[in-house]
Chains A and B, each alone.
Chain A
């Protein structure tokens, strides 16, 4: 029979801190097997010389609930089959665990955590919301909004694939870049005669307008992979896109940007094929970023669901905001329950970037927001080269600038540069 003892829990507790705040209370949280009998925890704890009280005995008085921990060795929540055991009883918990292992009364145990209110990130005040994010002579408004002027990283050496209508290969803003390209459209070269692909590539990696000196691209030192998966008319099919995705992953791209999609109906679920692809990409340390879609007309109260393939849970879906930090009128929302959430937002209205024929253009769409996030992902990959793709995804969300909007519209908020 184990004996109670005063151990070094408190010392350990002080060492295991989050900043200046302790992580663990010193108590143990015991979760019974789902098949366990409701009375089993009391029986097992009695064998370990523990006196466990039931929450039912204190449910009418919160004060007594807290007092119960001083009058017993712990509390049992019968409805959840969870018990909280006071500190100093680690040996007893171990005895209970050893005695019940292999039976229907087995359980898992973990340290009880302190829970803190998440510090509120800065949210734009109403007065700030009424102002626009201005372009400057050095940066476009989109670049300013994602805090590109403060970025320490440039995506150096990170491989990024843009799957779209191709690239204006002779555009001067891409001359310094390492570019590999491939067309997945029958009888069409990579050269972009639409403009959309060149625009997206420009936002992701295009850098600086050589004539004006204004910067509009994010990951200026990334290695660009251009996959032409859409025709010069701006359309394609899933099979061509899947071939492009395979090419990008086999070339070890860390980020794939897809400013494309097709509308889905409310209630429609995501594609199992694309979800498989996205999971394979994550396993290969590659994040797929895709446009949420432009089918909404919010001014008339119409919000359409995030489109295919951005609606896959393992694809980062990007919404568009304008220069007042408001959700773009056209930007699709997370209204479907089975997949289809918006993960993050980026500038997508009146976005300036490179265009076909060595020119520039200013256009709008979640297509424009997507390469902003893809470029930012490259900065994070450069900063944290040994991270997993899931870590990069988490950091993009964690460091996003909180917006005064529903997460179903903007996800974690406005993506921020690193």
Chain B
């Protein structure tokens, strides 16, 4: 069975921006690939084998919102 790959942007709560590195570490230990962490914005870019809906249902109650990393064009 072909595994899913969700390229995502995660946004932590405003109060947690200072802890974004720790939150990224926690996601990583859950098996999520972290590509970039923005300490300025409190945003994490990465990839996961879970679907976007699965990521949302697992992490949004913890205050981390997930959205698809979109393709953007001119």
Selecting from A32-40, A134-142, A234-242, A378-386, the interface stretch reads: A234-242
Task: State which of A194, A235, A250 has its C-beta within 8 Å of the C-beta of B71.
Answer: A235
A272 at the interface (CB under 8 A from B): yes
Enumerate 16 A-B pairs (CB-CB under 8 Å) in ascending A order: A196-B74, A230-B72, A230-B74, A235-B74, A237-B70, A237-B71, A238-B9, A239-B35, A239-B36, A239-B69, A241-B72, A242-B45, A245-B41, A260-B73, A273-B67, A367-B74
Contact check, A239 vs B45: say whether CB atoms are below 8 A apart.
Answer: yes
List residues of A whose CB falls within 8 A of some B CB: 164-165, 194, 196, 230, 234-239, 241-243, 245-246, 249-250, 259-262, 271-273, 276-277, 280, 308, 365, 367
* Interface range, B side: 20 to 34
B24 at the interface (CB under 8 A from A): no
List residues of B whose CB falls within 8 A of some A CB: 7, 9-11, 14, 35-36, 38, 40-43, 45, 65, 67, 69-74
Tally the A-B contacts, defined by beta carbons under 8 Å: 82
Nearest-neighbor residue (CB-CB) of A308 within chain B: B70
Which residues of A have CB within 8 Å of B40? Answer: 246, 249-250, 280
Contact check, A237 vs B7: say whether CB atoms are below 8 A apart.
Answer: yes
Which residues of A have CB within 8 Å of B10? Answer: 273
Top 5 closest A-B pairs, CB basis? A239-B45, A234-B74, A273-B11, A235-B73, A273-B9
Nearest-neighbor residue (CB-CB) of A260 within chain B: B72
Which residues of B have CB within 8 Å of A235? Answer: 71-74
Which residues of B have CB within 8 Å of A236? Answer: 71-73
B31 nearest CB across to chain A (Å) = 19
Which residues of B have CB within 8 Å of A280? Answer: 40-41
Nearest-neighbor residue (CB-CB) of B42 within chain A: A276
A295 nearest CB across to chain B (Å) = 11
Separation of A367 and B33 alpha carbons in the complex (Å): 34
